[in-house]
């Protein structure tokens, strides 16, 4: 189960080079995908009653989960799989890239505190590079694809309009490659993947690829940032 994790570690170690983990923790390195300041969506979902759900995929779910766990209005952010079957919803199988699953994150949020459009703005701005379809940083394969799994027609409308808006504004050098798929089922990932960023803040992969996303969230979306993460379990950070 640690095969892909070891791969991520080796790739990251090569990228970091002579820099030490301690130095990176003090002065965060550039992320594999740079954050981009983008306009808010011109069309957003109507404020609804009760907790709502958004499911997105943007590379390794460790960093995606970590970003939304530091986002105000998010009730929970769970790492998991979407796009494939229940039988193939396991890390060992998904890592092969042939299951149809993407490493995804299910976000439960309070629409009175954060909108669906704001969640997408953070997704396109600091979570990942939406111009890369099946790659984010050192991770390559369909399981790392950029995707929005819309739960209803309104989410689909907002996502389609926002992608068109950002492409028209030429915010990125290349067109957005993010795919929109109707949400079927979301399967939570294994327990050891939950709260991974918080539990392993000094792991080289996390330091190089994911911690900069948290810093970017704090800088670009200061009004939406919370210092204490909303965790899945009673996680305690280990250094």
What value does the CA radius of gyration of the chain take, rounded to a whole number of Å?
A: 17
Closest C-alpha among 96, 99, 61 to residue 188? 61
CA 123 to each of CA 155, 182, 234: distance values in angstroms, whole numbers, following the listed order: 14, 18, 25
45, 60, 104, 147: the catalytic one is 60
Return the pLDDT at 136.
95
- Residue 60 is a catalytic residue: yes
DSSP string covering the chain: --HHHHHHHHHHHHHHTT--HHHHHHSPPPPSS-----PPPSS-PPP-SS-EEEEEEES-HHHHHHHHHTBTTEEEEEEEEESS-STT-SHHHHTTT-SS-EEEEEEEE-TTTS-HHHHHHHIIIII--TT-SSEETTEESGGG-EEEEESSHHHHHHHHHHHHHHHHTT-SSS----EEEE---EEEPPGGGTTHHHH-TTSHHIIIIIHHHHHHHHHHTGGGB-SS---SS------
pTM of the model: 0.87
- The pLDDT profile of the chain, 239 residues, written as one tens digit per residue, is 443 444 454 443 333 333 333 333 333 333 457 899 999 999 999 999 999 999 999 999 999 999 999 999 999 999 999 999 999 999 999 999 999 999 999 999 999 999 999 999 999 999 999 999 999 999 999 999 999 999 999 999 999 999 999 999 999 999 999 999 999 999 999 999 999 999 999 999 999 999 999 999 999 999 999 999 999 986 554 44
The region that residue 226 occupies, defined by phi over 0 for left and psi between -120 and 50 for alpha, beta otherwise, is beta
Domains of the chain: 3-32+47-224 (3.30.1060.10)
Q: What is the Cα–Cα distance from 238 to 10, expressed in whole angstroms? A: 20
């Amino acid at each position: 189960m640690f095969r892909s994790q070891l791969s991520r570690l080796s790739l990251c170690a090569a990228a970091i080079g002579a820099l030490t983990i301690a130095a990176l923790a003090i002065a965060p390195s550039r992320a594999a995908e740079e954050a981009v300041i983008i306009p808010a969506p011109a069309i957003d979902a109507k404020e609804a009653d009760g907790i709502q759900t958004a499911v997105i995929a943007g590379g390794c779910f460790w960093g995606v989960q970590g970003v939304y766990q530091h986002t105000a209005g998010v009730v929970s952010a769970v790492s998991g799989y979407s796009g494939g079957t229940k039988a193939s919803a396991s890390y060992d199988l998904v890592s092969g890239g042939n299951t149809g699953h993407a490493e995804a994150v299910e976000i439960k949020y309070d629409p009175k505190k954060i909108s669906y459009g704001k969640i997408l703005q953070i997704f396109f701005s600091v979570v990942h590079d939406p111009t890369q379809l099946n790659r984010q940083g050192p991770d390559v394969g369909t399981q790392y694809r950029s995707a929005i799994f819309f739960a209803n027609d309104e989410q689909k409308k907002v996502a389609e309009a926002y992608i068109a808006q950002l492409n028209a504004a030429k915010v990125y050098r290349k067109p957005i490659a993010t795919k929109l798929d109707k949400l079927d089922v979301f399967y939570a990932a294994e327990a050891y993947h939950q709260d991974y960023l918080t539990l392993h803040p000094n792991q080289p992969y996390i330091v190089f690829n994911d911690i900069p996303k948290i810093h970017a969230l704090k800088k670009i979306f200061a009004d939406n940032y919370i210092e204490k993460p909303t965790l899945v379990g009673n996680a305690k950070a280990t250094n």
